[in-house]
A and B are shown apart, each in its own frame.
Chain A
Amino acid sequence: MEIEVISFGKIAELITTKKLILDFILDTDDFKKYLEETYPELNNIKYKLAVDKQIVQTNCKLKDGSVVAIMPPFSGG
């Protein structure tokens, strides 16, 4: 399954890939686990996911072509 990744802020410097081909990832819980194993820095940064522009509050299924946004908080003013 192909997932499009859009990342923001500091996370965009970590995750430079825009497309991921992932076969064992079914849902956002799997995806987070994959992200944190692949990019261990994410273990130390708070971030939120959105799938197809909807914020992820509880585990949700991913499908081929899903667009996952990975957003850190910003503090600047």
Chain B
Amino acid sequence: MSAERYNRQIILEGFGESNQKKLANASVLVIGAGGLGCPALLYLTASGIGRIGLIDGDVISLSNLHRQILFSTADIGKLKAETAARKLAELNPEISIKPYPFYISQTNILDTIKPYDFIVDGTDNFESKYLINDACALLNKPLVFAAVSGYEGQLAVFNVEDGNKNKTNYRDIFPIQPKKGEIPNCAENGIIGVLPGIIGTMQAAEIIKLITGIGKPMVNKLLNYNLLQQSFYEIDLIAAPDNAYKIPKDESSFLKTNFGYPKDDKHYRVLEIDIKELENLQKKDSTILIDVRETHEIPKLNSANYKQFPMSVFEDLLDQEIKENNIVLLCQHGVRSIAAAEYLHEKYGINKNIYSLKGGIIRWKNFFTS
């Protein structure tokens, strides 16, 4: 390791040679070499991280160049992963840089991230973001998450414990993956080029803080950044209540989880209903109402009308066959019931009508307690 190369940060008070050695001994995988990944990779490479992996299956196109600053006009048509690796090796030949010129998938992600200490999410779609989140949560890998839209960005550090041994992941904020088209992406909505430059650079800074222990990484916080206002809005995160969502608990259940976009077709969708629709369904013959709250939760519902199947043992229900055609899921606030409905949807598809009570028992407590 050339001390001269890193001299300006080694002489920095609070940094020093020991932290430079920590960088040299660390490994980081950057997933997506796009608007976020390019600046993150440049600064991680320059800083002297010992081993960097970068994964991207895409090729460079002209509309990438206003924000994907590792690439030049002559690179159009080339693979991003290999082009990025070559340029990064020119910047810093003293470290190891490994390109993976393919897309992450459910079948390759666990093996790809296992050899790395830290993961950077620079992807541009929810399918990948949820796949990365769940894989990192399962393997307990520190994940520096970011996402951008228009003039705004979000940044967080997941799967790292704070002083009270609490940790969070993306599903603690958004438990259910949005449907395709629900939230516009960069291709649809547009993005100002410098924005992922700022947020991707912040991701590199968070990685350097996590490796060296300097400063306060964004653990259990979500940073919202607005470029137009030049403003920051930081939210403290706590974990969602137990069973608000499920992260696959081992590799075989990870491989069985559906990370595809929930289908748009209304026949393939879990329908959220209000209390009037619930009452109408209740009058039909082939309807079952399932309360997925845990047994200690109140108000208790009449067990003659509502079957109780808590989320903590929901897998038991998935193993059984439900004979009714209309299945209505309910819980306290209407969050867990959506997750439950999605599981049943995966199982039954269009063969059953599956509903979730929006707002849950609390929103309609007059109905349930009268």
Contact B184 A77 (CB under 8 A): no
Residues of chain A lying within 8 A (CB to CB) of residue B184: 10
Q: Does A16 contact B (CB under 8 A)?
A: no
Which of chain A's residues have a CB closer than 8 A to the CB of B241?
57-58
Are B152 and A8 in contact (CB-based, < 8 A)?
A: yes
Contact between B234 and A53 (Cβ–Cβ < 8 Å)? yes
In the complex, which residue of chain B has the Cβ closest to the Cβ of A30? B363
A34 to chain B, nearest CB (A): 11
Task: Verify if B157 is at the interface (C-beta below 8 Å from A).
Answer: no
Interface residues of A in 1-57 (CB under 8 A from B): 6, 8-10, 29, 32-33, 36, 43-46, 48, 50, 53-55, 57
Query: Given that A55-B173, A59-B362 are contacting pairs, would A74 and B196 also be in contact in the complex, using a CB cutoff of 8 Å?
Result: no
CA distance A73 to B189 in the complex (A): 14
> Separation in Å of the B87 CB from the closest CB of chain A?
19
Q: How many A residues touch the partner, as a band?
A: 20 to 34
Closest chain-B Cβ to A5's Cβ sits at a distance in Å of: 12
Is B88 positioned at the interface, with any CB of A under 8 Å from its CB? no
Across the two chains, which residue of chain A brings its CB closest to B187? A76
Shortest C-beta distance, A69 to chain B (Å), equals 7
- Of the residues B147, B174, B272, contact of A48 by C-beta under 8 Å: B174
Residues on A with beta carbons closer than 8 Å to the beta carbon of B363 = 29, 32-33
Residue of B37, B154, B172, B196 with highest tally of chain A CB at under 10 A: B154
B183 adjacent to chain A (CB < 8 Å) = yes
Chain B residues with Cβ below 8 Å from A74 are 147-149, 152-154, 183
A10 to B241, CA, bound (A): 27
Inter-chain CA distance A43–B273, complex, in Å, is 11
- Assuming the contacts A10-B183, A32-B359, A46-B174, asked whether A76 and B35 have C-beta atoms less than 8 A apart, the reply is yes
Query: Is B237's beta carbon under 8 Å from chain A?
Result: yes
Instruction: List residues of chain B with CB within 8 A of the CB of A46.
Output: 174, 176, 178, 182-183
- Minimum CB distance partner of B122 in chain A: A77
- When the two chains form their complex, are residues B333 and A58 in contact, meaning their CB atoms are under 8 A apart? yes
| B235–A69 touching, CB < 8 Å | yes
- Shortest distance between the CB of B152 and any CB in chain A (Å): 6
Q: How far is the CA of A77 from the CA of B224 in the complex (A)?
A: 15
**20 A–B contacts from the bound complex (CB under 8 Å):** A8-B152, A8-B224, A33-B359, A50-B235, A53-B234, A54-B236, A55-B172, A57-B241, A58-B332, A73-B126, A73-B154, A73-B174, A75-B124, A75-B125, A75-B178, A76-B147, A76-B186, A77-B37, A77-B123, A77-B125
Which residues of B are in contact with A by a Cβ distance under 8 Å? 32, 34-37, 121-126, 129, 146-150, 152-154, 172-174, 176, 178, 182-186, 189, 191, 196, 222, 224, 226, 233-241, 244, 272, 332-333, 358-359, 362-363
Binding site for B on A (CB under 8 A): 6, 8-10, 29, 32-33, 36, 43-46, 48, 50, 53-55, 57-59, 69, 71-77
Closest 7 CB pairs of A and B: A77-B124, A74-B147, A76-B186, A74-B149, A76-B148, A50-B235, A73-B174
Given contacts A10-B184, A32-B363, 8 further A-B contacts (CB under 8 A): A6-B233, A29-B363, A55-B172, A57-B241, A74-B183, A76-B185, A77-B125, A77-B196
